[in-house]
Amino acid sequence: MKTAHCVVSKAPIRKDPTDSAEMVTEMLFGEAAEVLEKREKWWQIACKWDGYKGWIDLKQLAFVDQEEDLGKKYCLSSALWNVPSNIGMYQLPIGSVLFKSQEDSFGLGNIQFDLTGLEQWKASKPNLLEIAEKYINTPYLWGGRSNYGIDCSGFTQVCHKLCGIELPRDAYQQAEIGETVDFASIQAKDLAFFKNAKGKVIHVGIVVEDQRIIHAHGKVRIDRLDEKGIYNDDLGKYTHELCWIKRVATNK
């Protein structure tokens, strides 16, 4: 089966093959997936980055026979890139994937993209906290993974992706990655996980300096963090109960 690539700025992936179904995640421009099943306009896919499965409108995909022929992959670490194509301008979010070969162009399906004059996107490996801060005030969106709207685990996943670190899609899955550390040893870039009344992990954020946390809750924001959980100064109360802290490879 050919590899499917997202050819819109971001494409919703839904739980069921209908426009009214819950959005469970998103593909960002250039990301790849394997097609598992076809039902008229709806195709079930498995995202190559994290294995996440769902249904997508086939019109938002293009197919490539040999992915390696596209060239070297680069992830955009800044927002709202204007990339021209033979069918008009594309405005791309943080985390989009571009391809670079010997030519300043690449093709996905019948669409040709021109990278002339866009050399600055081949920047050095970004810093996790610098990337995270670019999402400040991005609205919360269930299933979102872009600076147009993002959920808590989508936020941590894409930030780590830009630093070359693979994380699973959901918070409870991410909670299984890395080394558990106690609160007294907490460091910036650690992942903090939070639980509901039943003890299930339901929220995640990235620790920043001075015992604070950046996370998606209503919007991407920075709040206070202590051994009890997240304290929201705007609301004047704790909003999340701390479960544990994990340290992943980006800290080492």
Reported as a single tens digit per residue, the pLDDT across 146-201 is: 999 999 999 999 999 999 899 999 999 999 999 999 999 999 999 999 999 999 99
> Sign of the CA dihedral 43, 44, 47, 53?
positive
Which CATH number applies to 128-251? 3.90.1720.10
CB 44 within 8 A of CB 112: no
Active-site residue set: 152, 203, 215
CB 162 within 8 A of CB 142: no
pTM: 0.92
In this structure, the number of other CB atoms found within 10 A of the CB of residue 121 comes to 17
Q: Reduce the DSSP state of residue 169 to 3 states and report it.
A: coil
pLDDT level of residue 78 (50, 70, 90 thresholds): confident
CB 239 within 8 A of CB 214: no
pLDDT computed for residue 69 by the predictor = 66
Right CATH for 3-121 from 2.30.30.40, 2.60.40.10, 3.40.50.880, 3.40.50.1260: 2.30.30.40
In CATH terms, are 3-121 and 128-251 the same topology?
no
Alpha-carbon torsion angle 10, 16, 20, 24, nearest 10: -40
Token pair, residue 155, equals 């936020």
% of residues, the chain, pLDDT over 70: 92
Residue range 46-53: mean pLDDT, rounded: 94
Domain boundaries along the sequence of the chain: 3-121, 128-251
Residue 249 has pLDDT above 80, yes or no: no
Beta bridge partners of 159: none
CB 71 within 8 A of CB 43: no
Beta bridge partners of 129: none
pLDDT computed for residue 3 by the predictor = 82
Reported as a single tens digit per residue, the pLDDT across 92-139 is: 999 999 888 767 888 898 999 988 876 555 555 679 999 999 999 999
pLDDT computed for residue 79 by the predictor = 67
pLDDT computed for residue 33 by the predictor = 95
pLDDT computed for residue 244 by the predictor = 96
Task: For 206-235, give the DSSP string.
Answer: EEETTTEEEEEESEEEEEEE-SSEEEETTT
